[in-house]
């Protein structure tokens, strides 16, 4: 695994983001039949080349969605009621229905080590992030479109898909 260099990642995003968005929009409209299989083939190489512990950009720059189950479980873990937990850490943005973090970086990230202090009980969204091999992939393309800006693993996945899929 290679360490993630977030500075050079941000430069790459600036230069290539629009081409990637164009590609993902076409991919969503004309997905090849083997798209899920392709994602499964590509993902191991992405993880082999990405050391998340040198990155944690998702925990620094994005918020997971907290389901009611997540809130109950995590609140109990940190010794709070769900109501106290929501009042202290979460909010629902206008025009949204999901509970999100108020803070960035996430209050549970140890910024010195990039470790999650509630790893065993973290939100399901964090456990599944960045959803590279979720099925059907075509239903997650809009998610990847947002995440290429923040997540080097998603960026690399799309880069590799652009080589494998002619659109």
Residue numbers of the site for ligand SF4 (CB under 6 A)? Answer: 50, 52, 55-59, 64, 106, 108-109, 116, 118, 122-123, 126, 129-130, 150-153
> Closest distance between ligand SF4 and the C-beta of residue 62, in Å?
7
> Closest distance between ligand SF4 and the C-beta of residue 59, in Å?
3
For ligand SF4, give the closer residue by CB, 30 or 92: 92
For ligand SF4, give the closer residue by CB, 31 or 152: 152
> Closest distance between ligand SF4 and the C-beta of residue 153, in Å?
4
Look up tokens 């191991």; give the residue: 44
Handedness of CA 59, 36, 121, 74 (dihedral sign): positive
For ligand SF4, give the closer residue by CB, 5 or 22: 5
Burial-class residue 56 by CB neighbours within 10 Å (0-12, 13-18, 19+). buried
For ligand SF4, give the closer residue by CB, 39 or 58: 58
Q: Cα separation of 63 and 105, whole Å? A: 8
> Closest distance between ligand SF4 and the C-beta of residue 69, in Å?
14
| 3-state SS assignment for residue 28 | helix
Secondary structure element (H or E) that encloses residue 157, with its range: helix 152-164
């Amino acid at each position: 695994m290679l360490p993630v260099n977030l500075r050079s990642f941000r430069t790459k995003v600036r230069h290539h983001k629009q081409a990637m968005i164009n590609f993902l929009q076409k991919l969503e409209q004309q997905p090849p039949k083997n798209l899920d299989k392709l994602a499964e083939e590509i993902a191991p190489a992405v993880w082999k080349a990405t050391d998340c512990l040198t990155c944690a950009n998702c925990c620094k720059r994005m918020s997971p969605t907290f389901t009611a189950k997540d809130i109950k479980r995590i609140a109990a873990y940190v010794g709070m009621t769900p109501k106290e937990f929501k009042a202290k850490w979460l909010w629902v943005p206008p025009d949204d229905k999901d509970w999100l973090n108020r803070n960035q970086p996430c209050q549970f990230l140890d910024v010195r080590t990039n470790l999650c202090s509630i790893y065993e009980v973290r939100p399901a969204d964090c456990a599944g992030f960045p959803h590279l091999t979720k099925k059907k992939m075509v239903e997650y393309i809009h998610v990847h479109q947002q995440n290429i800006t923040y997540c080097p693993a998603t960026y690399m996945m799309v880069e590799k898909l652009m080589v494998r899929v002619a659109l």
